[in-house]
Structure 1
Amino acid sequence: MFETIRYEVKDGIAWLYLNRPDKLNAFIAQMNREIKEAIKVAAYDEQVRCIVITGEGRAFCSGQDLAEVDEHMDHGQVLRDHYGPMIKQLRQCEKPIVAAVNGVAAGAGFSLALACDFRLVSDRASFMNAFIHVGLIPDSGNLYYLTQLVGYSKAIELSVFGEKVPAADAVAMGLASQLIPLETWGEDVSAFAVRLSNLPTKAIGLIKRSLKAISDSSFEDYLELEAQGQRIAGLTNDHLEGVRAFMEKRKPVFSGQ
């Protein structure tokens, strides 16, 4: 059914594994579509009481696969066509969604984790708003969620400097719910998911609906604003330099243009 992800349901829990471990589970358009479809399937499956998203291999998700990026790309349209629909599907789902962040969550991978209700982190996990390093702005709802979690001051610091946030620091600043040692990772993530799956699922959905009602009136407008901003950033020389430097494994030299 899926090629870039692995999806299975066990004991009322839907497990969604990002499955491009050789690419650190980087996003391609097909993965965006398959995540969207898997969340939709889980949302309508009456047997599913909880959803867990995690990564195969040593990463959660390293963000956009830059091999799919070219200098003629309209980055705003990419968000409208691929990332926006995926993030909207997560937001529309009224079942609890857990991001089990087993390794690095960078760029849009960080955004994916932010769009979940809970973030569990292994002691080798980290978050990074890496967009600035290729001359782009955080997207896929990133700043919308990040500001709600950590406030303006910390959100702009994480976004402008793009520095890595280790797992323990993520818990301390409220980005993550729980730090789990690697040696008990599978057992503890499962226990957390089981705990959620045993709670009143419809009540959780209503709690989520009520919380989202506080800010939903501007969410669609925010995603469009984000897409417009990313299109502008995607046309800059600094973005092209950032991508070239990444592909050439060197430090970028930004010109401000």
Structure 2
Amino acid sequence: MIIYKTEEEIELIRQSALILSKAHGEIARLIKEGVSTLTLDKRAEEFIRDSGGKPSFKNYNGFPFSLCISVNATVVHGFPSKYTLNDGDIISVDAGVYYQGFHSDCAYTHAVGNVSEEVNDLLKVTKESLYKGIEKATVGSRMGDVSYTIQEHAEKHGYGVVRELVGHGIGQNLHESPEVPNYGRRGQGVKLQNGLVIAIEPMINLGTRHIVQEDDGWTIRTRDNKPSAHFEHTVVVRKEKAEIITTFDYIEQAKKS
């Protein structure tokens, strides 16, 4: 069942998203060569709790951390660890915040030091595909319009679009209906209506679209061990233009400082 949100509920999600976006900025400040991914997780949890929120992911279906941290060929759901970042790595940081009864969800893939031009292009196109998909999240469109637009942009650059993992509705639950695939056909799927809040999250691979799950039951990596990128925003469907309620602004500010 799809749960449409009232303006009051959207305001609460917006407040949750602000804490989350600022947490992403705090994490971005720490991302550099030699820093362990566990350090990032600890800082994220500390900041979120100090801000009055709770990390949405911690203990969600048994997930033991506040962040999903996915390095290089890991697509999503990677565990923070003692692994220290190296020059040339890419690292996807996926986080959620639960605040005053509502969740928000956001992910960003960072380059560590000097990455190859090939990988830099992957990050650029994946982020572009997110925003192109968001442009289609307007009243009267179909979910397939969002999905097709993401797929078309990624595949025209020769990348693999992960199919087994999708975006989702979000609100009082972290994952709600409907699913938001990153592939599909225009004119197909759920008709989008005002007040639908969704997490749109392209997961795009440098090589093929195929993935495997590691023995920990969570970590997903590319089958060919080529890098994967992941960007995500929490978005409200609106009549003229979708409203993005998470922001990468705090990340971008941190990168400049």
Higher relative contact order (CA 8 A, sep 6+): 2
User: TM-score normalised by the shorter chain: which range applies?
Assistant: under 0.3
Structure richer in strand, relative to its length: 2
Under a length normalisation based on structure 1, what TM-score does the superposition of the two structures give?
0.28
Structure richer in helix, relative to its length: 1
Under a length normalisation based on structure 2, what TM-score does the superposition of the two structures give?
0.28
